Amino acid sequence: MDVVIVGGGPNGMMLACELALGGVRPVVLERLTEPSAEPRSNGLVGQVVRMVDRRGLFERLSGQPGPPRANNGYFMFAALPLDLSLLDDSPVHNLPVPELRTVQVLEERAVELGVEIRRGHELTGLIQDDDGVTLTVRGPGATTYELRTGYVVGADSAHSPVRKAAGIGFPGVTYDRSTSRTVHATVPADRLDPATGALIVPGHGPVLPFLPVRTARGGFSYAPLPGRPPLVATVEWDEPGTDEPMTLDEMRASVARVLGADVPLGPPPGDGPHLLRRINGGNTRVADRYRDGRVFLVGDAAHVFAAGGTGLNVGMQDAVNLGWKLAAAVTGGADVLDTYETERRPVADRTVTFSRAQAALLSPGDDVTGLRELFGGLLTQPGVVRVLADLVAGADVRYPVDEGAHPLAGWPAPDLDLRTADGAVRLAKLVRRATPLLIDLTEDGGLHVDGVEVVRAKADTEVTALLLRPDSYVAWASSEARPDRDGLRDAARRWFGVPVSS
């Protein structure tokens, strides 16, 4: 077989879908016999929401018609409000969806595309050579067998057996000062403001939904996610840890310490599963390398972040970046596998900075309180909000380009509304098959690339042509009435291994 993906979470399933769209049918090995029902992430934020829309998955995940709408209200950065209404065009998109549902939708899509998913199969060994990789797998009933494959991708969590077997280091920092608690709970109806949805806390004040609060003693948040019991979370510093099972009484006591006031938390309705979790400390780590020969890492296997809630968003975009490149290597396209690390590793490094900055601004102490007051004043300025909103959304990530490249090169394709001979269409709908695409917006419509689909259209933009990679990033662009065919030829050869016809 050509590719084996170890790990059937959202990153592994997203990668499986991308490979299948690229003409490769991977095998997914997942240790669990069923998707984990343990509550984990609560949704997707930023550029990854636009990406699932471009794969036709937004409506499946959201349960509502697309396209996704930008958040023009407020978001948060280190428990400080980002007023997105100050921006002409907010880059922040929110998709509240439980991780279990994300996995289910992606697995359904992978099966539709012909992916083989082996649940209850666990990797126990890995040896690679110049020609491929031999895996040892423990299957149902403790049976053991070997698989021979061309490539292996570890999408198998922060404790990645693939990463360890490949000898890839995972340096970083472990933080042991904080204790985080998260539960599903209910609050009395009379404690909710019907106008704002805020949680009313006598002795503290209202707590707006989805906007964390930082006090001198810790942090608190209240998130009434749709279709689920409200999510209540605290973080405290220098609190003694314990190995005892987490209880709702423990959560009530934590809330009282953080807010200096009691909140009457009740058990959530229904059978669950419901979250009742305590985490002592945290980790921020990035793998030494994302590739070792024929072994690759995506998602938590490659990076974990102690704060910011960005891990899944970054991981799924890792999968989209790697998928088409690995498919090209298998099917005889251009060899661009080394660009996976050069493009995605800086994103992880940037997210480490993002995570550390938020952790610092959430820390205890009067000096941090002063810094937050100063920072809060800066957040009234649209320019500052723009920088942080782009950071939250990942909208400031541009992949490396050559000097003198068009300003759009290296960025995700813009959301253009195109007018074609067949009618109006969103660009997002044209990229769902994850193949290279040339958008010809010139007056004469004369551009052509062998082996690449061409869409001739008109649009309200100064751009006259766009060459898109399968991950919807711009490989080449022009704003000239007569685009530079040599530049187009070079980009097509570099990324897809095909020339432009004369």
Could you read off the pLDDT of 36-89 as tens digits, one per residue?
A: 777 677 789 999 999 999 999 999 999 988 799 999 998 988 889 899 999 999
Q: What is the pLDDT of residue 141?
A: 87
pLDDT > 70: percent of the chain: 98
- Tens of pLDDT, residue by residue over 403-419, are 999 999 999 999 999 99
Cα–Cα distance, 311 to 99 (Å, whole number): 12
pLDDT recorded at residue 387:
94
Q: pLDDT tens digits for 375-409?
A: 999 999 999 999 999 999 999 999 999 999 999 99
pLDDT digits (tens, 9 = 90+) for 237-288: 877 667 789 999 999 999 999 999 999 999 998 877 788 989 887 788 999 9
Q: How many helices (H) and strands (E) does the chain have?
A: 12, 27
pLDDT band at 502 (very low <50, low <70, confident <90, very high): very low
Residue 197 contacts by C-beta under 8 Å, 6 or more apart in sequence? Answer: 208, 209, 224
What pTM value is reported for the model? 0.92
Instruction: Give, in order, the Cα–Cα distances in Å from 37 to each of 101, 280, 338, 381.
Output: 9, 22, 36, 42
User: Of the candidates 466, 428, 429, 461, which has an alpha carbon nearest to the alpha carbon of residue 449?
Assistant: 466
Rounded distance between C-alpha atoms, residue 455 and residue 432, angstroms: 14
- pLDDT interval class at 441 (50, 70, 90): very high
How is residue 113 annotated by DSSP? Answer: T
Q: How confident is the model at residue 308 (pLDDT cuts 50, 70, 90)?
A: low
How is the beta sheet containing 151-154 ordered, strand by strand?
116-119, 27-30, 3-6, 151-154, 295-297, 291-292
Q: What percent of the chain stands above pLDDT 90?
A: 77
Question: Where is 375: in which H helix or E strand?
Answer: helix 366-378
> Residue 70 forms beta bridges with which residues?
93
Mean pLDDT, range 417-428, rounded to an integer: 95
* Count of CB atoms situated within 10 Å of the CB of 200: 16
In the chain, the domains with their CATH numbers are 3-42+98-170+287-361 (3.50.50.60), 174-282 (3.30.70.2450), 411-496 (3.40.30.120)
The Cα–Cα gap between 487 and 477 comes to 9
**Among the listed residues 299, 400, 295, 275, the one whose alpha carbon sits nearest the alpha carbon of residue 351:** 299
* 317: CB partners within 8 A, 6+ apart: 47, 48, 51, 344, 347, 394
Across the range 90-119, mean pLDDT stands at 95
When the pLDDT of each residue in the chain is averaged and rounded to a whole number, the result is 92
Buried b (16+ CB within 10 A) or exposed e, 157-169: beebbbbebbebe
Distance of alpha carbon 433 from alpha carbon 271, whole angstroms: 39
Report whether 27 contacts 118 (CB < 8 A): yes
* Average pLDDT estimate for 417-424: 95
Q: What pLDDT is stored for residue 237 in this prediction?
A: 84
Q: Decide: 301 and 160 in contact? Cβ < 8 Å.
A: yes
Q: Assess whether pLDDT exceeds 80 at residue 488.
A: yes
Amino acid found at 404: G
Q: What is the pLDDT of residue 319?
A: 98
The band of 303, judged by pLDDT with boundaries at 50, 70 and 90, is very high
- The per-residue pLDDT for range 160-215, each reduced to its tens digit, is 999 999 999 999 987 777 889 999 999 999 999 999 999 999 999 999 998 889 99
pLDDT of residue 242: 76
